[in-house]
Chains A and B, each alone.
Chain A
Amino acid sequence: MLIFVADADVSWEFSDLIEAIYSAPTYHLVFEGCLILFIVGLLFQHSFLPSKRRGGSGDRLSKAEEDQLIAEWQPEPLVSGDPADEALLASYQRCATSQVGRSVTYSDGRTLVNFATGNFLDFIGEARIRDRALASLRHYGVGSCGPRGFYGTMDVHLHLEEQLAKFYGCEEAVLYSYGFSTIASAIPSYAKRHDIIFADERCCFAIQQGLEASRSKIIRFRHNDTAHLEELLQRQAEHDRRNPKKARVTRKFIVVEGLYVNCGDICPLGELVKLKYKYKVRLFVEESASLGTLGATGRGICEEAGVSVQDVDLIAAGIENALATQGGFVVGTKYVVDHQRLSGLGYCFSASLPPMLAAAASEALTMVDEMRGERTARLKSVSDRLHQRLLAELDNLWSVEGAPMSPIKHLRLHRCTGENSLPALEAACAAAADAGLLLTVARYVAQDLGQPAQPSIRLSVNCNHSDSEIGSLLDFLKSYATGLAKK
């Protein structure tokens, strides 16, 4: 019987409603009885966490199993007595008593020509930067004592951000206090779980940490191989066609470096931008090594490749190489970059860059701007000259990895000379110190996926390296390798 409109002959008195219970159909009362039992049963249920919540196997150990595992556990020594670490430990004993500029003086009195650190534009020891930093130190003190959101923002930070944005021709810049955490914070603030990132397989460790923190699906493509990247993007596009709903909520990114620190190569940015527009993926470029070293005026890989900065979604760089201070920045459109002021964990939850370093960076950037690429051009020509001489004179002794104009080169012992092992290269570096040269083996964290199969000596060229310094480097390399080959 349908009761919809207010009916005069149906009574809604409470006593009549109670009486209606007695004339209720049985199935109804049974259903209600089940519901009441369900409620009572619910009251006695304990709360629990479903085991497959985090996607793991989730089988909890019983008390007995736990006790057994604890009883069986043997602690490993805190410090391994591995003799292979000795050379590395010995290098920590070396103590520099001067600035680590184009040449370094050590506590044993030796002065070595520095081919090891990333002082590409020779700004270490530059009087103008030092004076600006000291003036800033007297004005602000040393540290900023707070993150950007908690009284750690000073006018030097805002000024440097504006200056960086103008330098690149972008809308906005965000300043980080540590170069490593710049890209490691930038990637996870945009890429989340269920997103896809296509990363070059020789990316630096900072990028890898960012990729891991993002919890996204990482697809690595062969180093600088745009054909392989296109194949992977094509495969992903087919997946997306089969599952359009999932594709609509999946963000896709490509992460590359402008100048690869682990290889000395330059990325093919023009082709990457074409792929970006063809497959609708976002492009992130990490420019720590290419700031100041590539481009006609030192504006990085975009200028070098002739690509508009608007075509790259995000440029992240550490200023710890060419600009010779500390920190990093991310630059791009306001819409993209502003997001990091709340989501960039390295920005929100770390103390801001000490004001004296921000002032020094600002001065260094002004110098780069004023020089209009003079030192960059000099750096490229020195690197190129070194590269040509390495190829010409050390042909069967050392093999060189890296682009000719790149200030970062990786040297490996040629197989004709001997076995290219880490101890052999470390011995070469020690011998180089005796010859007045500071060389370093490229060192990697054990979990670094970008490390090469073969160890190498990483050369970092300074724009002011003179011909005689280059000459002495080549002479040493030649004589050392020839000596090895004779054995």
Chain B
Amino acid sequence: TAHSDPNPNHVYFNSRGIWATYVIFIFITHFIVLSIPFISMALAWTLTCQIHNVITYFWLHWEKGAPFEPLDQGESRTLTHWEQLDDGVQFTANKKFLLVVPIVIFLLTTFYTRYDQIHFLVNALSLVLLAIVPKLPQLYRVRIFGINKW
């Protein structure tokens, strides 16, 4: 659809079926992990949770700019994907969804790992550090110790 937004990264997450696609990707990952014969149920869930958090961290909070040339005169060159989504507006429906999904995965994971201590530690750390903290509005456009600034 034609629109006047110079950067498609601002609006594509409003497309029809994107949320469902994201959830389906998680399901596919989980099924692949579950198919590996020698690991237990708990490990499979922890693996899914970790893979999800790590991949979404790199996708949303590490890589900057866009894979195409947007017409925004270089504004998005120093912005991560999370900062570009919805053009920087905080707490939109998309952002709330992306915040809730890792938490739901974590809750399911702790249930299926029978509340084991080590699994809890690993999953909770990755949840908080990789999935929740970077998405908070307080960290919008913040680069700790200048890491990943340029």
Please give, as numbers and ranges, the residues of chain B lying within 8 Å of A245 by CB-CB distance: 149-150
Contact between chains at B119 and A193 (CB < 8 Å): no
Verify if A90 is at the interface (C-beta below 8 Å from B): no
Residues of A29-58 at the interface with B, using a CB-CB cut-off of 8 Å, are 31-32, 35-36, 38-39, 42-43, 45-50, 52-53
Our pick among B90, B117, B124 for the contact of A31 (Cβ within 8 Å) is B124
Chain A: minimal CB distance from B69 (Å)? 7
The answer on a CB contact under 8 Å between B89 and A47 is yes
* Complexed CA–CA distance, A337 and B97 (Å): 43
One digit per residue, 1 when the CB lies within 8 angstroms of any chain A CB and 0 when it does not, for chain B 81-93 equals: 0000000111110
Within 8 Å by CB of A43, from B96, B103, B114, B140, lies B96
Q: Please give, as numbers and ranges, the residues of chain A lying within 8 Å of B91 by CB-CB distance.
A: 42, 45-48
Residues of chain B within 8 A of A192, CB atoms compared: 73-74, 77
Contact A1 B116 (CB under 8 A): yes
> Is B60's CB within 8 Å of the partner chain A?
no
Name A245's closest neighbour in chain B (CB-CB): B150
Collect the chain A residues with CB atoms within 8 Å of residue B96's CB: 42-43, 45
CB neighbors of A among B99-124 (8 A): 99-100, 103, 106-107, 110-120, 124
Q: Which of the residues B88, B100, B119 comes within 8 Å of A39, measured between beta carbons? A: B100
Q: Which residues of A contact B69 (CB under 8 A)?
A: 342-343
Which A residues are CB-close (under 8 A) to B113? 3
A3 and B149 contacting across the interface, CB-CB below 8 Å? no
CB distance from A262 to the nearest CB of B (A): 27
B115 touches A20 (CB 8 A): yes
A20:B73 contact, CB within 8 angstroms: no
Residues of A within 8 A of B150 (CB): 243, 245-246, 248-249
User: In whole Å, how far is B75's beta carbon from the nearest beta carbon of chain A?
Assistant: 6
Chain B residues within 8 Å of A21, by CB: 111, 115
Q: Is B39 an interface residue (CB 8 A)?
A: yes
Q: How far is the CA of A378 from the CA of B74 in the complex (A)?
A: 46
Residues of B contacting A32 with CB < 8 Å?
Answer: 107, 110
Q: Which of B14-22, B24-32, B40-48 contacts A (4 or more CB under 8 A)?
A: B40-48
Q: In the bound complex, do residue B74 and residue A49 qualify as a contact, i.e. CB atoms below 8 Å apart?
A: no
With A21-B115, A25-B117, A42-B96 in contact, do A12 and B41 touch (Cβ < 8 Å)? yes
Contact between B74 and A4, CB atoms less than 8 A apart: no
Contact B90 A49 (CB under 8 A): yes
If the complex has contacts A24-B115, A49-B88, A50-B140, are A5 and B75 also in contact, measured as CB distance less than 8 A?
Answer: no
Contact A4 B39 (CB under 8 A): yes
Residues of B within 8 A of A20 (CB): 111, 114-115
- B38 at the A interface (CB under 8 A): yes
Whether the pair A194, B110 counts as a contact (CB closer than 8 A) is: no
Interface residues of B, CB < 8 Å — how many?
Answer: 40
The contact string, 1 if C-beta is below 8 Å from chain B, for chain A 340-353, is 00110000000000
Determine whether A300 belongs to the interface, using a CB cutoff of 8 Å to chain B: no
With the chains together, A192 CA to B6 CA distance in Å?
Answer: 14
Complex Cα–Cα for A28 and B113 (A): 12
User: B74, A35: Cβ atoms under 8 Å?
Assistant: no
The complex places the Cα of A482 from the Cα of B149 at a distance, in Å, of 65
CB-defined contacts of A6 to chain B, threshold 8 Å: 38-40
Asked if B40 and A5 sit within 8 Å, CB to CB, the answer is yes
A24 to B, closest residue via Cβ: B115
Cβ–Cβ < 8 Å partners of B78 in chain A: 194
B103 pairs with A17, CB closer than 8 A: no
| Contact present for B89 and A1 (CB under 8 Å) | no
Flag if B111 contacts A193 (CB, 8 Å): no
Q: Is the CB of B107 within 8 A of A35?
A: yes
- Report the minimal beta-carbon distance from B137 to chain A, rounded to whole angstroms: 6
Q: Which residues of B contact A188 (CB under 8 A)?
A: 73
A478 contacts partner chain B, Cβ-Cβ < 8 Å: no
Q: Cβ of A215 < 8 Å from any Cβ of B?
A: yes
B40/A7 in contact, CB under 8 A: yes
Counting chain B CB atoms within 10 Å of each CB, the highest count among A3, A32, A342 belongs to: A3
Contacting pair A49 B73 (CB below 8 A): no
Does A195 have its Cβ within 8 Å of any Cβ on chain B?
yes
Chain A residues 261 to 313 lying within 8 A of chain B, measured CB to CB, are none
Contact among A3, A31, A343 for B43, CB-based, below 8 A: A3
Q: Does A114 contact B (CB under 8 A)?
A: no
A460 at the interface (CB under 8 A from B): no
Q: State the CA gap A24–B112 with chains docked (Å).
A: 12
Q: Residue of A at shortest CB range from B100?
A: A39
Q: Are B112 and A17 in contact (CB under 8 A)?
A: yes
Minimal Cβ-Cβ distance residue in A for B96: A42
Q: Tell yes or no: A10 within 8 A of B by CB.
A: yes
Residues of chain B with a CB closer than 8 A to A445's CB = none
Cα–Cα, bound, A4→B74 (Å): 47
Please indicate the chain B residues that have their CB under 8 angstroms from the CB of A194 in the complex.
Answer: 74, 77-78
Residue contacts A-B, CB under 8 angstroms, 25 given: A2-B118, A5-B40, A12-B41, A21-B111, A28-B120, A32-B110, A35-B103, A39-B100, A42-B99, A43-B96, A47-B92, A48-B90, A50-B137, A53-B141, A188-B73, A192-B73, A193-B73, A193-B74, A194-B77, A215-B73, A215-B75, A243-B150, A248-B150, A249-B150, A342-B69
Since A12-B41, A31-B124, A193-B73 are in contact, a sample of 19 more A-B pairs with Cβ atoms closer than 8 Å, ordered by chain A residue number, is: A1-B116, A3-B43, A5-B40, A10-B40, A10-B114, A17-B112, A17-B114, A21-B111, A32-B107, A35-B107, A39-B100, A45-B91, A45-B96, A47-B89, A47-B92, A48-B90, A194-B74, A243-B150, A342-B69
Shortest 8 CB-CB contacts between residues of A and residues of B: A192-B74, A193-B74, A24-B115, A246-B150, A45-B91, A20-B114, A47-B91, A3-B42
